[in-house]
């Protein structure tokens, strides 16, 4: 039988033949449930409806971070893929805002969603979660979402995880899932943090390394204590080449602060790793956007500009994202990733200028018709937007 275009394309990819075989098996063994009346709509609604969550357990890691577990108020938690996140909404001091958190629990466990919240500098939401949230508190969330996942069709079964600080959380879900369900993966992790004492989940990773021969965790300390004897420094190309000699055979996944993320991409590029083999999870813009390359040199970030939104005019600080300024003024914008990838927070720039931070994935249609990602846009003049 002649192949259709989809089958032809799939057959050329890394794991294409295996996927095609699985599709044929499923066609023979699974009923086509989508044909049932209204079932497709019911499934889609369950997957994408707002989540009503309740905190059922809080665990202090004693490393300036807490593990928070959520149950569903409605009794149902949608499935997710290891590496995805959920965006949690909350109201703090009269400001309704949200933050995306990677789900660190594994997909095969749907009794609860687990996130890890670390204390950050000037952490408006993280401080609230760490200091004020208690068992029984209820939240609304959107998710699961995100594409920082293992794509079976075109990713290698051999993975290189490059984690920095609290960027370890999506990898926790990936490792837990692959090892506990005996998935055919070969995983090497380079985990960078200031010290061993500050590293989240390091004890669990080292225990898993001892129990499974397809997982290896190498810790790299950027500020080692005198008694530390392990790897030190940063994730340079020399370190990657020495510790993971088969790096070219692996799909590389990077998660950590923006400065670490950018640094590691440059090092992998210097090693001639193809762009298609590098996957990144973004952590939002720089804490101090005025330090980003490209920021207007004549602005300090303290300037206040007027932003017209419909019949309302608000004040917005240059160094604060447009999304945050809108939230501070109780103007709701749909949002999920807060990192310039999901496109939900787009608004139309009617007049004026913004500084667009690195990492915003604007579509050509957005550029053509004047839409911007409010989470990555910073006002640099008086302006008008349309929601």
| φ, ψ at 150 (rounded to 5°) | -75, 115
CA dihedral 198, 200, 204, 207 (to 10 degrees): -40
- Which run of H or E residues covers position 323? helix 322-328
User: Does 335 map to a domain?
Assistant: yes
* Domain-terminating residue out of 93, 110, 145: 145
* Domain-terminating residue out of 145, 166, 191: 145
> Do residues 65 and 122 both lie within one domain?
yes
pTM: predicted TM-score of the whole model, two decimal places: 0.82
- The pLDDT, as a whole number, for residue 25 is 67
- For residue 346, is the peptide bond before it cis, meaning its omega torsion is within 30 degrees of 0? no
User: Does 19 map to a domain?
Assistant: no
> Do residues 162 and 276 both lie within one domain?
yes
Q: Which residues pair with 139 in a beta bridge?
A: 53
Tell me the pairing of strands 138-145 and 85-92: antiparallel
> Do residues 261 and 301 both lie within one domain?
no
Question: How many Å apart are CA 98 and CA 104, to the nearest integer?
Answer: 18
> Do residues 312 and 349 both lie within one domain?
yes
Joined together, the tokens standing for residue 282 give 């973004």
> Do residues 358 and 335 both lie within one domain?
yes
For the stretch 243-301, pLDDT in tens is 999 999 999 999 998 889 989 999 999 999 999 999 998 666 667 899 888 899 999 99
User: Does 28 map to a domain?
Assistant: no
- The pLDDT, as a whole number, for residue 34 is 47
Q: Looking at residues 79-84, what average pLDDT do you find?
A: 95
Among 248, 352, 113, 121, smallest CA distance to 377 is for 352
User: Does 286 map to a domain?
Assistant: no
User: Does 287 map to a domain?
Assistant: no
Question: How many Å apart are CA 50 and CA 44, to the nearest integer?
Answer: 12
Give the domain range for residue 128: 49-145
> Do residues 138 and 170 both lie within one domain?
no
Strongest mean pLDDT among 19-23, 150-154, 173-177: 173-177
> Do residues 175 and 275 both lie within one domain?
yes
Query: Taking 60 as the threshold, does the pLDDT of residue 167 lie above it?
Result: yes
Q: What is the CATH number of the domain that holds 65?
A: 2.40.30.10
Q: Measure Cα distances from 256 to 28, 169, 264, 324, 325 in Å.
A: 43, 10, 10, 22, 25
Query: Taking 60 as the threshold, does the pLDDT of residue 47 lie above it?
Result: no
> Do residues 53 and 134 both lie within one domain?
yes
- The pLDDT, as a whole number, for residue 52 is 94
> Do residues 116 and 185 both lie within one domain?
no
Q: What is the CATH number of the domain that holds 211?
A: 3.40.50.80
User: Does 12 map to a domain?
Assistant: no
Domain count, the chain: 3
Report yes or no: 327 and 317 within 8 Å, Cβ to Cβ: no
Q: Looking at residues 90-107, what average pLDDT do you find?
A: 91
Q: Measure Cα distances from 34 to 4, 6, 30, 38 in Å.
A: 22, 20, 11, 8
> Do residues 264 and 163 both lie within one domain?
yes
Q: Measure Cα distances from 125 to 38, 57, 128, 155 in Å.
A: 39, 18, 5, 34
Q: Which residues pair with 98 in a beta bridge?
A: 89
Q: What is the CATH number of the domain that holds 322?
A: 3.10.20.30
User: Does 115 map to a domain?
Assistant: yes
Give the distance, in angstroms, between the CA of residue 197 and the centroid of all CA atoms in the same chain: 24
> Do residues 254 and 310 both lie within one domain?
no
* Domain-terminating residue out of 119, 145, 171: 145
> Do residues 265 and 361 both lie within one domain?
no
Among 143, 162, 52, 139, smallest CA distance to 337 is for 143
Report yes or no: 355 and 322 within 8 Å, Cβ to Cβ: no
For the stretch 5-39, pLDDT in tens is 777 777 777 777 887 777 776 665 555 554 555 66
User: Does 23 map to a domain?
Assistant: no
């Amino acid at each position: 039988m002649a192949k259709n275009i989809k089958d032809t394309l799939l057959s050329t990819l890394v794991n294409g033949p295996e996927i095609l075989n699985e599709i044929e098996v499923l066609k023979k063994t699974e009923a086509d449930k989508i044909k049932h009346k209204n079932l497709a709509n019911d499934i889609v609604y369950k997957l994408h409806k707002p989540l009503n969550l309740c905190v059922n357990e809080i665990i202090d890691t004693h490393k300036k971070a807490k593990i928070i577990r959520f149950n569903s108020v409605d009794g149902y938690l949608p499935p997710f893929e290891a590496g995805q996140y959920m965006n949690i909404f909350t109201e703090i001091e009269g400001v309704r805002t949200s933050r995306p958190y990677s789900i660190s629990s594994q997909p095969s466990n749907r009794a609860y969603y687990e996130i890890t919240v670390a204390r950050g500098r000037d952490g408006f939401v993280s401080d609230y979660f760490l200091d004020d949230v208690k068992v029984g508190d209820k939240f609304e969330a959107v998710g699961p979402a995100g594409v920082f996942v293992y794509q079976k069709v075109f990713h290698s079964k051999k993975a290189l995880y490059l984690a920095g600080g609290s960027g370890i959380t999506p990898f926790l879900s990936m490792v837990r899932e692959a090892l506990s369900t005996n998935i055919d993966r070969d995983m090497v992790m380079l985990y960078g943090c200031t010290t061993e004492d500050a590293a989240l989940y390091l004890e669990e990773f080292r225990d898993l390394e001892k129990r499974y021969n397809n997982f290896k965790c190498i810790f790299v300390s950027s500020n080692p204590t005198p008694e530390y004897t392990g790897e030190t420094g940063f994730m340079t190309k020399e370190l990657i080449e020495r510790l993971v000699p088969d790096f070219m055979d692996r799909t590389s996944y990077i998660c950590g602060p923006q400065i670490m993320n950018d640094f590691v991409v440059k090092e992998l590029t210097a090693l001639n790793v193809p762009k298609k083999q590098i996957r990144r999870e973004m952590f939002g813009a720089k804490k101090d956007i005025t330090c980003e390359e490209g920021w207007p040199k004549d602005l300090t970030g303290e300037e206040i500009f007027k932003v017209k939104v419909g019949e309302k005019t608000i004040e917005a600080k240059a160094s604060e994202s447009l999304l945050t300024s809108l939230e501070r003024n109780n103007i709701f914008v749909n949002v999920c990733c807060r990192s310039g990838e999901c496109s939900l927070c787009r608004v139309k720039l009617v007049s004026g200028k913004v500084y667009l931070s690195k990492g915003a994935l604007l579509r050509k249609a957005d550029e053509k018709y004047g839409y911007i990602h409010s989470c990555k846009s910073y006002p640099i003049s008086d302006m008008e937007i349309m929601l």
